[in-house]
Each structure stands twice: as structure tokens, then as C-alpha cells.
Amino acid sequence: MKVYEGKGDYHKALNFSNQVKRYTDSIYMESSNLHMKQVEAIYQSESEQSKIKLLETTRRNDRLMMIGSLILFALLLIAGLLYYLRNRLIERNRRLQRELEIRTQIASDLHDDMGSSLSSIHIFSELLRKQNNKSEELLNKIEENAKETLDALDDIIWLVKPSNDKFSNLSMHIGQYAVPLFEGKNINAEIDFPDWISETPLPMESRRNIFLIIKESINNLIKYSNCTEALVKAEYVDDDILFTVKDNGKGFNPEMLTNRNGLKNLKARAGQINAVLNIQSAPGEGTLITLLVKAKNLVGG
């Protein structure tokens, strides 16, 4: 460019200057573009790294959430299991406590019954020794008390035996008690316990109170009704069991109950197993006693 200026050829000098400027600008643009590409590459690289870090963080958080959820589920499962086991243990302890109370009551009943009977036998024996003219009557009383003692002991042994916790064993025991009494009084009796409920489970408390209620009802029938026909039966009413003791005897007025006939004792025993006891009778119209045992009391617990 200076050569052309020295020669005075300013037109070529200007062209050459412009070419140099364009070339310089071109180099600058190339350099700028290269720099921009480098900056973009660096930015993209950093962006990719940021994305990778974000992805890794997200995955790590997801894993932590999953682990936390599994731990929470496991804790809830363990808590539910412990709660279930706790309730089972409480229920088992409650049943054991109730069984202990029943066995204590049985022991008390056995003590009272046998103690009273043995005392009577002892008194009658002493009288027999002193009064020979009444020996037959006293011997009959001794025999009666001895039999009552044996019957009470037999009932206790039957009651506490675990293998008897079925309806079939209850019906058999009631039959063994009732049949000789009916035959001894020439009563035409029907005892109906269907086979299809023979496998129904009966916990000890229910079995004990049902038997004692039926036994007392039959005993009252034998002593007071003067009947010629009697019915003892059991049947399903929905899922509950209805026991019936019926006679065609002289009947009585239920509104004039006394402690001597034992009917208050029947209601007390029914209340112990949340059963419904109903007594229907009238003078000259016989007696109907029903006992409705709820299904929830037909299983242990």
C-alpha cells in the first residue's frame, strides 16, 4: 500500500487497503467464530454435566424415596403384626383368666356339693347307729346322698375334660342324666338332639351353664310337674341354638317364683353366657322353658 502511495496511485492503494481490511476482518471473524464455538462447546459440555448431575441426583432421590417407602411399609407391617399379636395375647389371657375363674367356681361347687352330701351321709350314719327302728328310711337317704355326690363328681369330671367341648358330648351327657329319671317316673319323654349339630363346638363355660340349666329344668319337671309327657330338644334358629324343655304337667304361675324352685338360678346361669331364657307356664297348662344360646357364645373366647 505504501508503494502505491509513493507512486501516487492512490486508487490502487485504497483497493489494497480495503483488501487488507477485509482479510483482517475475515481473520477476526474466523477467530471470533472459533472462539464462540469453543465457548458453545464449553457451555454445552457444562450443560451436559449439569444434566448428568441432575439426572444422578434425581435417580438418587428416587432410590432414597423407594428405600424410605420400603422401610415405612416394613415398619407399618411390623406394627400391624405386633398389634395383631398383642390383641391375640390379650384375648388368650382373657380366655385363660375366664377359664381360671370357671375352674375356681367348679372347685367351689364341688366342695360345697360334696361337703354337704358327705356331711348328710355322716349324720344319717350316726342316726342309723342310734335308731334301729328307722334304719330303712335312713339307708335310703344315705344312698340318695351318696348317689348325688357321685353324680356331682361325674359332672365335674365331664365338664373339665377338653374332649367334651362338642355338642354331641353335651347331648349324650344330658341323655344319660334325663333318661333314668323319666323312666323312674314313667314319663313318656322325647329327647331330640339332631346329629347335624353334633360337631358344633362348645366352650367350657357355655357347656357348663347349658348343662346345668337343662339339668335343673329336668329336675324341676321330675319333682313338681306330675306330667305324663315331656320333651327335651335342641334346634338351630338361624345361627343360634334353641334348647327346649317342655311338659304337660300341672304348671305354675311364673309371677310367683320362689327361691325353692331354682328358677332364679336358671336365669342367673343364662345371664353368664348372654343367653335368653324364657319360662312359659300357667296352672293346669304345663310348662315350656326355652334357652336361646347366641352363635357368638358357641365358640371359644
For the domain made up of 164-301, the CATH class stated in words is: alpha beta
pLDDT over 70, % of the chain: 62
Class of residue 110 by CB neighbours under 10 A (exposed 0-12, middle 13-18, buried 19+):
middle
More confident site: 166 or 290:
290
Q: Check residue 201 and give its pLDDT.
A: 79
Domain positions in the chain are 2-71, 164-301
- pTM of the predicted protein model: 0.58
How many degrees, rounded to 5, is the angle at CA 146 between CA 215 and CA 268? 30
pLDDT digits (tens, 9 = 90+) for 66-111: 887 888 888 888 888 888 888 888 887 777 777 667 666 666 666 5
> For the chain, what is the mean pLDDT?
76
Q: Check residue 129 and give its pLDDT.
A: 61
Q: Please state, in angstroms and as integers, the Cα–Cα distance from residue 118 to each residue in 115, 191, 220, 262, following that order.
A: 5, 32, 23, 22
Average pLDDT value for residue range 37-53: 67
**Is residue 242 pLDDT above 90, yes or no?**
yes
